[in-house]
Each structure stands twice: as C-alpha cells, then as structure tokens.
C-alpha cells in the first residue's frame, strides 16, 4: 500500500498541514519521498503509527509526550494498547455518568459525583509514568513532583499573563520579529525551563507550531484576542530559526 499525502490525510481525517508538521517534529515521517517531484508517500506502517498517535491524542497527550513515548526503547506497544483501551473505557463511562447527571439535573436533582475524574487521572498518570522514559519527561516529573494544586494554579496564571502580554504586543502592532515580541519569546522559554523542563529551541519551536495546529491550544490562547496564537507561533519561529 502506498498513498500520496493528500489521500493519507483524508483517510486519517487530518489536514496535510498537520502531516507536514508531524514530519517536521519527527513524530510521523513519510515512508518515502520522491526526490524529483517532492511527493510524500505513506504506507501501512505509517498508518499503524498514525493510529497510535491518534489514540494518544484522544487521551489528551501533547505531541511532545507522544513522540517521546513512541521513541522510547522500552515502549511496549501491546501493553500500551491495553492501557489505552482501559483509559478510553473510563473516559466513556465518565461521559455516560455526566449524561445521566444532566437527566437528573433536569429533574431538579444535584449529583456532583459525576464530575469526579480522579480515578481516570490517577490511572492516566500511572500509565504515563510507565510510558514516559525520556530525560525530558523525567525532568518534568522531578521538577513538579512537589507542586501543590495551588502551585499549578499559580503557574497556569503565570502562563496566561505571558499569553496576554503577547496579545497586547500584537494589538500595539509590533511585528513578531520585533525586539518587543522576541523578548516575550525569551520570557516564555525561561518560564517553561524554570518551572517544568529545559525548553530547548527545538522544543520551543514545536510548541510554537502546536499553538496554531492544535485547536484546543489555539482557541484557548485566542481568548486573549483573535490571532494571538498565530502571532506567538510566528514570533517563536523567528526566534528559533
């Protein structure tokens, strides 16, 4: 089986741009690229890899973590599929509880237990510990192991402030390559390094692209102003060039 990138993208329900990005970050490379035409081709092995990626995306794993997991020499695909299945079943059961709670809420009942997601998160974190065997993941686990909920909330607020500063920079009509924007990129890189893991230029470049390619990140960042995610992505790309 050999498919052009357009056909492969359609089969996997993703955009060609997403596949280009996956190739850039080394998450999913084409099986073959014609050096004369530049056409990229994908095969059955590519499809199996994409399936694994999509399972992890359904469980809200960031692309960086997925790449690290799949690249780990200790990665056990069979065990991972078993754990992914359990996590997806737990996610399905929680959604069913929430739907049932809506029915109860319509009758005037209050059922808060349906919002409890602790069991899912606990199992997910345990699975990530088994899968995540890279230096970056270990560094993140070590650095954040003592963080409390208040600590994580404060860090989240700090990240929101940085995103807000990027938005203000954009609204003042500064260009992504301006010193004002580049200073904010350096602040972002330092903030991640100081609080989570060493944010190399390679990692930062991947984050910058993810801010526009991942709809969840894009929509969240654009709450500060339409176009903020793209502005940050462009500023990061210039910084990491």
Residues recorded for the chain? 241
**Burial (CB count within 10 angstroms: exposed 0-12, middle 13-18, buried 19+), residue 230:** middle
Residue with tokens 């959604």: 95
Q: Which CATH number among 1.10.490.50, 3.20.20.80, 3.90.79.10, 3.30.465.10 corresponds to the domain 140-240? A: 1.10.490.50
pLDDT at 86: 77
pLDDT at 176: 96
Residue with tokens 């390559």: 177
Give residue-wise pLDDT tens across range 2-15.
899 999 999 998 89
Q: Where are the domains of the chain?
A: 3-61, 77-133, 140-240
Q: How far apart are CA 116 and CA 31, in angstroms?
A: 43
Q: Which residues of the chain have pLDDT under 50?
A: none
pLDDT at 107: 63
* Residues whose CB falls within 8 Å of the CB of residue 20, separated by 6 or more in sequence, listed in order: 5
| Cβ atoms within 10 Å, residue 124 | 19
CA angle 133, 15, 45 (to 5 degrees): 50
Nearest to 209 by CA among 165, 187, 164, 239: 239
In terms of CATH architecture, what is 3-61?
Orthogonal Bundle (1.10)
pLDDT at 119: 60
Give residue-wise pLDDT tens across range 153-175.
899 899 999 999 999 999 999 99
Nearest to 136 by CA among 64, 205, 187, 62: 64
Distant-in-sequence contacts of 191-198, Cβ < 8 A, 24+ apart: 191/158, 191/159, 191/162, 195/143, 195/144, 195/155, 195/158, 196/140, 196/143, 196/144, 197/136, 197/139, 197/140, 197/143, 198/136, 198/139
pLDDT at 97: 74
Nearest to 77 by CA among 52, 54, 55, 56: 52
User: What is the layout of strands, in order, in the sheet containing 40-42?
Assistant: 3-4, 40-42, 32-33
pLDDT at 35: 81
């Amino acid at each position: 089986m050999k498919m052009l990138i357009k056909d492969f993208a359609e089969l996997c329900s993703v955009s060609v741009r997403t596949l280009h990005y996956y190739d850039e970050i080394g998450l999913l490379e084409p099986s073959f690229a014609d050096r004369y035409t530049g056409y990229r081709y994908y095969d059955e092995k590519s499809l199996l890899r994409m399936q694994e990626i999509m399972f992890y995306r359904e469980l809200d794993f960031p692309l960086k973590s997925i790449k690290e997991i799949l690249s780990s020499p200790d990665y056990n695909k069979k065990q991972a599929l078993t754990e992914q299945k359990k996590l997806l079943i737990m996610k399905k059961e929680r959604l069913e509880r929430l739907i049932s709670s809506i029915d109860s809420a319509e009758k005037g009942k209050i059922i808060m237990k349906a919002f409890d997601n602790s069991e899912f998160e606990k199992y997910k974190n345990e699975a990530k510990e088994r899968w995540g065997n890279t230096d970056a993941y270990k560094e993140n686990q070590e650095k954040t192991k003592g963080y409390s909920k208040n600590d994580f909330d404060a860090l989240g607020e700090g990240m929101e402030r940085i995103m807000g500063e990027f938005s203000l920079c954009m609204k003042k009509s500064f260009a992504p390559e301006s010193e004002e924007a580049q200073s904010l990129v350096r602040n972002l890189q330092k903030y991640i390094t100081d609080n989570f893991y060493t944010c190399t230029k390679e990692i930062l470049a991947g984050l910058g692209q993810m801010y526009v390619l991942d709809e969840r990140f894009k929509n969240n960042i654009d709450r500060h102003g339409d176009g903020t995610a793209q502005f940050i992505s462009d500023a990061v790309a210039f910084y990491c060039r």
